[in-house]
């Protein structure tokens, strides 16, 4: 194998071990190393922050130096948010947002 292949395999191995230690470490040593209460409160917002980081760039795509464009994904997301405010039903949010996207996509002017 070439030197590049060994480098890539080594990087994958090191990242695998790091991921395993960080994910399983708290399960194994969590009782012995309790988290401070302030950190526990802050970690409650981690799933919402991760979802925001995934969804916002997809719904509002932009290029450096330009403003975000309003496209059919953004309108469907607004429909989903309105459904959530009205019903508080997660399944209806998913179905309503997708139906709005499918219905608006063929007729969207951009």
Q: Quote the pLDDT of residue 78.
A: 93
Rounded Cα–Cα distance for residues 20 and 17 (Å): 5
The string of DSSP letters for 69-103 reads: P--HHHHHHHHHHHHHHHH--HHHHHHHHHHHHHH
List of residues 6+ apart from 44 with CB closer than 8 A: none
Query: Are 58 and 73 within 8 A, CB to CB?
Result: yes
Q: Full-prediction pTM beyond 0.75?
A: no
pLDDT tens per residue across all 110 residues of the chain? 677 788 999 999 999 999 888 888 777 777 777 778 998 899 899 999 999 999 888 888 777 777 767 789 999 999 999 999 999 999 999 999 999 999 999 987 75
CA distance 9 to 1: 11
Give domain limits for the chain: 1-34
């Amino acid at each position: 194998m070439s030197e590049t292949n060994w480098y890539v395999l080594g990087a994958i191995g090191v990242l695998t071990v790091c991921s395993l230690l960080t994910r399983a470490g708290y399960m194994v040593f969590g009782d012995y190393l309790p988290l401070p209460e302030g950190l526990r409160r802050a970690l409650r917002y981690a799933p919402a922050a991760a979802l925001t980081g995934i969804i916002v760039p997809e719904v509002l795509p932009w290029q450096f130096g330009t403003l975000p464009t309003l496209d059919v994904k953004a309108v469907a997301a607004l429909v989903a948010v309105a459904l959530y405010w009205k019903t508080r039903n997660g399944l209806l949010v998913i179905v309503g947002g997708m139906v709005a996207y499918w219905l608006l996509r063929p007729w969207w002017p951009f």
